[in-house]
Amino acid sequence: MDQLPIFLYCAAMLFIGGLFKGVAGLGLPLVGLPLLTQAISLKTAVGVLVLPLIFSNLFQSFEGGLFWPVLRRFWPIYVTLFVSVAASTRALVVVPERYLFGVIGVGLILIPSVAHLLPRLRVRPADEKWLAPLAGIFAGVIGGISSYYGPPLMLYVMWLRLPKEIFVVAVSQMFTVGAVGLALGLLLFGASSPTQLGLSALACAPVFLGLVLGQKVRLRMSERRFSLLILVTYVLSGLTFLVRVV
């Protein structure tokens, strides 16, 4: 495959990933990564997504003037998330890609299915002190090998039953921390390079174009369709990776 068709294909898939993030408020790697890996390696795809992940989530984390209150509440999860995601990117170098696809596929199907089957489960404020660091470690390990630190974090935050405004800021901060840790780990373990970070910077353009258009679509979508869209997309993305294992 020539370089130009690959470049155009990846730009289109990044646009679609940004479009979904604009509609759902999350999920850039959820949609973009399985599509990108049809043309490039998993390691390269993760590297390309790093900067769009950082900048899109950092932008959302300042909404409503809640940045500092949310930071003070959730800093323990940020610390363990950052360390574990940076360390676990080592797997991108040493673990065969076939096995990584299997881990990603199972996780993408299992985690949202648990959330769907146990919608009323709630994390008590008293349990946050020990659950938050564990959630950060688990999400970091998954995220380091796949960039999918989002599903475990979403599950944890969902069960906190936060108000919508705090939910958006908290998730955005977590995703920003995870993306920065991912970028550091990729560079430290040689899974990425300054050249790939340059490509990642270029990837911000189609992602943000899709993001803006997706936000307009979200305004017209009902809550029921919104929830169904997220669940179906997780499951289909997981199946996409599992097919690559067989």
**Residues in the chain with pLDDT values less than 50:** none
The pLDDT, as a whole number, for residue 147 is 67
For the chain, the structural domain boundaries read 3-245
Using one digit for the tens of pLDDT, what is the confidence trace for 152-186? 887 788 788 788 778 778 988 998 999 999 889 88
Q: Which residue is it, tokens 């949202």?
A: 112
User: Rounded distance, CA 234 to CA 13, Å?
Assistant: 16
Instruction: Provide the pLDDT for residue 188.
Output: 86
The string of DSSP codes covering 51-106 is HHHHHHHHHHTTGGG-HHHHHHHHHHHHHHHHHHHHHHTTHHHHS-HHHHHHHHHH
Residue 234: Cβ within 10 Å count: 26
Rounded CA Rg of the chain: 17
Give residue 244's pLDDT.
65
The answer to whether the beta carbons of residues 149 and 27 sit under 8 Å apart is: no
How high is the pLDDT of residue 22?
79
Per-residue pLDDT, 246: 58
Are residues 219 and 13 in contact, defined by beta-carbon separation less than 8 angstroms?
A: no
Q: Give the pLDDT confidence score for residue 61 in this predicted structure.
A: 87
Residue 181 confidence (pLDDT): 93
DSSP-derived 3-state class of residue 124: coil
**Whole-number pLDDT of residue 205:** 96
Query: Reduced to 3 states, what is the DSSP secondary structure of residue 162?
Result: coil
